[in-house]
Amino acid sequence: MPRTPAPGGALLPATAGVASGIALVLALLVAPEDAVQGPAQRLMYVHVPAAWVAYLAFATVLVCSVAYLVRRDLRFDRCAQAAAELGVGLTALAIGLGMLWGRPVWGVWWTWDARLVTTTVLLLVYVAYLGVRRMADDPHVAARRSAAVGVVAFLNVPVVHFSVVWWRTLHQPPTVLGPDGSPPIDPVMAWALAAGVVAFTLLAVLVVRRRVAGLRAAGSGTAAVLPADGAAPVITVVPGGGR
Amino acid sequence: MSGRGAGRQALPAGTLGTVAVLVRRDARVALGGVDGFASVLPFVAAGVVLGGLVLGPDPAALRTAAPGLVWLLVLTAAVPLARVVAAAERDEDSWDLLRGLVPPGVLLLAKAAVLWAALAVTWGTGTVLAVLLLDGAVPVAGFAAALLGLVGVAASTTVFGALLAASARGAGLLAALVLPAGLPALLAGTQAGTAADPLPWLALLVAYDLVAGATAWAVFPFLLEE
């Protein structure tokens, strides 16, 4: 059976691959080692992009949820689901890398810090969002419920981002997007971080597009059966297919 | 159940009249049903007693932890109380009828009002027990924080209660949604009762109420469509 061409052709995967390579070189070889934290600081080049792109993914969930509620088009619902799955994965990655970094730098795997707690709450909320999607068999009912939860769930994102500003926390305040707008970071480190964000964003777009294509194929309810020699293809239609 | 008959009475014209009928009906159900206070209040009492046991006999530690413990118990109690949002309608299979008769905004207002009252009674019970058993103190700001913070919690919990109204599946997810939604109330409500300057925390609760209320008002109609 011929493979379905990847959405966006080969340009996006190639660009994401090149950006990832550049980010890797900048993070591991070019950027200077932190004078205080040592090599553990290099985890920041993955930890921070993972967290930022997770925010972006959850913002996508919000936009797609609102779009679904307005347009009632399952394409938006599939986009919301794919973005939520990616956001959950990246948030878990950010928490895990933060724990790996926290052990040598803070001396503990975990502490009851506002940023850590609110990020974990964010993760739990979107795990529950994905659970809500399974509560109904009808795709439009599931889409409507999850869209409502997707709108409510996004309220956690600004709480997470500003937690280090609103509360006195162990976690460092925003390094690049600080309230005063001046990044207190070495320029080479900033470039490595920016390259990581670009690479993660491109990879995220790639993953979401592929996931949306997969969900569309699964939800379309059509399963093509390979025909016998010269015969017409047999199409099985499953009720409840997507739009 | 004692409130069942009220569901069959004609809804009066006007928003306030409709809200009043729905509130009376749901309040009777909450008071009379096994899903309401009958199960929640003993849970709160057990929580305060066991909390005191876990936190130890040091009076200073108990006094410090008391406000936060009460708020945590209230949020935890919101999970079973969310089932009250559509308990009577689910039993009577009248949810569809009610949705057809009552505008979504009015229905949200009535359901959230009953839930707010239920949560307020729960907070009051927990606070009385905390004062008696944990040597806790409740300043005026603590009361104000409860009155304010529970508005947002009630609005969010009403949304999640409506989410489950049409489905018996996914009840376990309720805790993962209700508890984080009440995080601002948990934090600001606790701090307002203990901080030297409670005004910023009360302001945060007002902002939380506005955001939670506006979001609930925006998404609630979509949950009533099925």
Q: Tell me the two tokens of residue A144.
A: 């409507």
User: Distance (Å, rounded) from C-alpha B3 to C-alpha B185?
Assistant: 31
Closest residue to A141, CB basis, from B183, B211, B226: B226
Q: Is the pLDDT of residue A162 over 70?
A: yes
Closest residue to B167, CB basis, from A127, A128, A135: A135
Closest residue to A69, CB basis, from B159, B181, B222: B222
Q: What is the mean pLDDT of residues A132-137?
A: 85
Q: Which of A138, A152, A163 to mutate to test the interface with B (most CBs of B within 10 A)?
A: A152
Q: Is the pLDDT of residue A6 over 50?
A: yes
Q: What is the mean pLDDT of residues A97-106?
A: 91
Predicted TM-score (pTM) of this structure: 0.81
Q: Does B184 touch chain A (CB under 8 A)?
A: yes
DSSP string, B79-142: HHHHGGGGHHHHHHT-HHHHHHHS-HHHHHHHHHHHHHHHHHHHHHHHHHHHHHHH-----HHH
Q: Is the pLDDT of residue A216 over 70?
A: yes
Quickly state the pLDDT bin for A240 (edges 50, 70, 90): very low
Quickly state the pLDDT bin for A177 (edges 50, 70, 90): low
Q: In this predicted structure, what is the pLDDT of residue A49?
A: 95
Q: Would the CB atoms of A145 and B223 count as touching at under 8 Å? A: yes
CB contacts of B163 in chain A (<8 Å) are: 132, 135, 145, 148-149
Quickly state the pLDDT bin for A241 (edges 50, 70, 90): very low
Q: Would the CB atoms of B176 and A118 count as touching at under 8 Å? A: no
A44-71 helix and A114-132 helix, angle to the nearest 10 degrees: 40
Which residues make Cβ contacts (< 8 Å) with residue A226, sequence separation at least 6? A1, A233
CB contacts of B219 in chain A (<8 Å) are: 69, 147-148, 151-152
Closest residue to B180, CB basis, from A121, A145, A148: A121
Query: What are the pLDDT digits (tens) for B176-205?
Result: 888 888 988 998 999 898 888 999 999 999
Q: Does B168 touch chain A (CB under 8 A)?
A: no
CB contacts of B167 in chain A (<8 Å) are: 135-136
Q: What is the mean pLDDT of residues B58-73?
A: 91
User: Smallest CA–CA separation between B173 and chain A, in Å?
Assistant: 6
**Chain B 118-137, residues with CB within 8 Å of chain A CB atoms:** none
Which residues make Cβ contacts (< 8 Å) with residue A63, sequence separation at least 6? none
Q: What is the mean pLDDT of residues A138-163?
A: 89
Q: In this predicted structure, what is the pLDDT of residue A93?
A: 97
Q: Would the CB atoms of A127 and B180 count as touching at under 8 Å? A: no
Query: What are the pLDDT digits (tens) for A110-126?
Result: 988 888 988 999 999 99
CB contacts of A135 in chain B (<8 Å) are: 163, 167, 169-170, 173
Q: Would the CB atoms of A128 and B167 count as touching at under 8 Å? A: no
Query: What are the pLDDT digits (tens) for A40-79?
Result: 889 999 999 999 999 999 999 999 999 999 999 999 999 9
User: Distance (Å, rounded) from C-alpha A144 to C-alpha B125?
Assistant: 37
Q: In this predicted structure, what is the pLDDT of residue B178?
A: 85
ipTM of this complex > 0.90?
A: no
Phi, psi of A236 (to 5 degrees): -100, 125
Q: In this predicted structure, what is the pLDDT of residue B5?
A: 41
Q: Is the pLDDT of residue A25 over 50?
A: yes
Question: What is the 3 state secondary structure string of chain A?
Answer: CCCCCCCCCCHHHHHHHHHHHHHHHHHHHHCCCECCCEHHHHHHHHHHHHHHHHHHHHHHHHHHHHHHHHHCCHHHHHHHHHHHHHHHHHHHHHHHHHHHHHHHHCCCCCCCCHHHHHHHHHHHHHHHHHHHCCCCCCHHHHHHHHHHHHHHHCCHHHHHHHHHHHCCCCCCCCCCCCCCCCCCCCHHHHHHHHHHHHHHHHHHHHHHHHHHHHHHHHHCCEEEECCCCCCCCEEEECCCCCC
Closest residue to B215, CB basis, from A69, A147, A151: A151
Q: Would the CB atoms of A128 and B173 count as touching at under 8 Å? A: yes
Tracing tokens 């020699």 back to the chain, one arrives at: A229
Q: In this predicted structure, what is the pLDDT of residue A226?
A: 43
Q: Does B73 touch chain A (CB under 8 A)?
A: no
Q: Does B150 touch chain A (CB under 8 A)?
A: no
Quickly state the pLDDT bin for B130 (edges 50, 70, 90): very high
Q: In this predicted structure, what is the pLDDT of residue B179?
A: 86
The candidate with the shortest Cα–Cα distance to B144, out of B113, B185, B211, B189, is B189
Q: Would the CB atoms of B159 and A152 count as touching at under 8 Å? A: yes
Q: Is the pLDDT of residue B48 over 60?
A: yes
Q: Would the CB atoms of B215 and A159 count as touching at under 8 Å? A: no
Q: Which residue has the higher pLDDT, A17 or B57?
A: A17
Kindly report the average pLDDT of chain A as a whole number: 84
Q: Would the CB atoms of B226 and A128 count as touching at under 8 Å? A: no
Percent of chain A with pLDDT over 70: 79
Q: Does B223 touch chain A (CB under 8 A)?
A: yes
Q: Would the CB atoms of B170 and A131 count as touching at under 8 Å? A: yes
Q: What is the mean pLDDT of residues A86-115?
A: 92
Q: Does B211 touch chain A (CB under 8 A)?
A: yes
Q: Any idea which of A224-238, B84-98, B164-178 has the lowest mean pLDDT?
A: A224-238
